Structure 1
């Protein structure tokens, strides 16, 4: 996979930063901030559609890391609750929007006019959801999206209901049940001339099971490089692989943050990073409380497995200072290295480059701490859910 920050690390952009650095450290820092802001504000627009009662709104809520009861949740119900195209911002990444579209069967627009009505050109991809088989309206819409050369995916929702129903049978096999449902959906769509349909089986109430993670991996691989970063950070933590991928995204930016911290001689960079890491890994107070409410796991149990201070940024910064002092002593003997070469390429030289190198290593260790906490919290949650009757 292309590194999230590869688009920044080309000769032209490095040249721009270096030219700004030649004028002053402040102008160099401003150019770095500009580039990071471009990345942070990359828009991602996801269209969610399907027939009434298929679970569209619940899917929107789960992807955004909230429950159906949340004040900002997309309204859910057994009948069609979406009458108009409705955008829902990700609570932590407002540049990510999930658009709850009215089911095509509930509008007076034929498939071709439906896409025009909902403004198909603004969406990066479509997710078509059904809780049974994919019906005529789903197929009509997919054909039209296909004709428009947009990307779309089929999501077969409420798989947990199917599993529970099949469990009553004597010869029950979860794997066989999932294979049968997947093959049935795929063959039905192929019979309707849908080319290579991509079908994912999901449960909004058990996103760590079935194909939710496969869906995320597929979206990531098929998105343009500059959109992958945005998707990965917005994805809910549904497995340990997501934690690792989020960590990779954050790691790609550490050298820029290290340079900013030294050039600006400001602790504000660290404050923002702490907030960013907590939000990205779901370790902020609000996310942990929602996880506790959703799973029935006491919040104190989640906090108990964490090594990083939850709300006290001053304690985190004190820990960072200790790490930094160790890195600074190590830097005194360093004469080369990938990061030092990078800082030199930016026009940061001498003791300032060594300070950047020390800060880089310190932030990296801080990121390790948050990523490890995210893994421990997820594992604790998973053990609790698995043990439930």
Structure 2
């Protein structure tokens, strides 16, 4: 990332717009390929497979979901691709204490070196096996996090059994108990998060993602954020900002077409780039048709009610260049700039640099406009599904 910024700064200082545009295009292509490999492990019945499915935005009953059950269903390390981000791989690892994988063979069998970080899941207090696993991960200088799953079940039980119930105090007591138990097993400053695998929008899940964003390398941080299911309005806002930060790259890359003195090529390149960005926004913000359907099924809010919150014609449909053109026709400022760009390219001597600048600027304005409309849709839809108010913010 730092090398890219330095190279871009250098070529721009030398007024080499074509080189800067080429660098931006290559950098975007590289970002699409950044791998993120997550390991989820825990003892039998801990809820790790449910957690794996939740990370992928799936329910246990969905096609392609990791199998779940009361007995150990993961007997071999199993890779699951994210349905929208194939570069994100989530591994469901068998528990360290299973019969097939004894402790002395576990680490070698699981190939720990290939994972970016580990999530150790338990439905109850963490065990000696969990602590031993954490120490081995630490020896490899990898990050690990403890997730206490099925917290929703604990809350239901506490409400039923106690006359005076305080959810915040109950959560603190469970968290402190987990931390103390791990410290007794010689884990220093354990990071424990209380999570419901079936409802990632509840409890400590958002705190876990924020910490991961802080501790992962920058290029992997963005991959995790954009692939994460929408679990809160804050996550949606962070996604919007990450996508907004990429707009300059897309805009700069669009200047490549303006350097080609063939009528229509520049606008065709611009539209292809805009379509790609809109598709990425739709995918990350949970606005594809299948994503909306999963949200409806998970929350019980009908598709009709969710669709009533949608204002952008780019939400919940397949993105095509023709559709993007139709939406941009309503943006006079973008259309005017594109027309000016096409004309400027054929002015002798100064035409190409001016056209490249206009191409980048018109694409930049178009992307900002489209991201704003899609981001607002994502907030409204999520708020409706979760029964929230005042969802849309800049």
Bin for the TM-score computed over the shorter chain: 0.7 to 0.9
User: Does 2:307 match 1:303?
Assistant: yes
**How has the CA–CA distance of structure 1 residues 303 and 7 changed in structure 2, closer, same or farther, with 3 Å as cutoff?**
farther
Contact 1:327 1:361 (8 Å CA) reproduced = yes
User: Does 2:115 match 1:123?
Assistant: yes
CA shift, 1:327, in A, is: 4.7
Correspondence for 2:6: 11
User: Does 2:321 match 1:326?
Assistant: no
TM-score, length of structure 2 as denominator length: 0.85
CA shift, 1:149, in A, is: 2.0
1:37-94 deviation line (CA, Å, top 9, x unaligned): 1111111111000001101111011111111111111111111100111111111111
Structure 2 Cα separation of the partners of residues 8 and 304 of structure 1: 45
Give the aligned length: 361
Correspondence for 1:343: none
User: Does 2:369 match 1:365?
Assistant: yes
SS of corresponding position for 1:114 = helix
Contact 2:236 2:379 (8 Å CA) reproduced = yes
Correspondence for 1:84: 76
TM-score, length of structure 1 as denominator length: 0.86
State how 1:193-342 maps to structure 2 within 5 Å.
193-264=186-257, 265=266, 266=268, 267-309=271-313, 310=315, 311=317, 313=319, 314-323=322-331, 325-327=332-334
CA shift, 1:9, in A, is: 5.0
5+ residue gaps, structure 2: 258-265, 340-351, 389-394
Correspondence for 1:49: 41
CA shift, 1:322, in A, is: 3.0
SS of corresponding position for 1:247 = helix
Contact 2:121 2:146 (8 Å CA) reproduced = yes
Structure 1 Cα separation of the partners of residues 46 and 272 of structure 2: 45
Contact 1:18 1:28 (8 Å CA) reproduced = no
Contact 2:113 2:140 (8 Å CA) reproduced = no
Structure 1 Cα separation of the partners of residues 73 and 207 of structure 2: 28
Structure 2 Cα separation of the partners of residues 9 and 368 of structure 1: 27
CA shift, 1:291, in A, is: 1.0
**How has the CA–CA distance of structure 1 residues 46 and 307 changed in structure 2, closer, same or farther, with 3 Å as cutoff?**
same
Correspondence for 1:355: 359
**How has the CA–CA distance of structure 1 residues 49 and 170 changed in structure 2, closer, same or farther, with 3 Å as cutoff?**
same
CA shift, 1:349, in A, is: 3.6
User: Does 2:183 match 1:190?
Assistant: yes
CA shift, 1:262, in A, is: 4.2
Structure 2 Cα separation of the partners of residues 31 and 10 of structure 1: 10
**How has the CA–CA distance of structure 1 residues 16 and 110 changed in structure 2, closer, same or farther, with 3 Å as cutoff?**
farther
Contact 2:328 2:335 (8 Å CA) reproduced = no
Measured on the aligned residues, the alpha-carbon RMSD in Å equals 2.5
Contact 1:17 1:32 (8 Å CA) reproduced = no
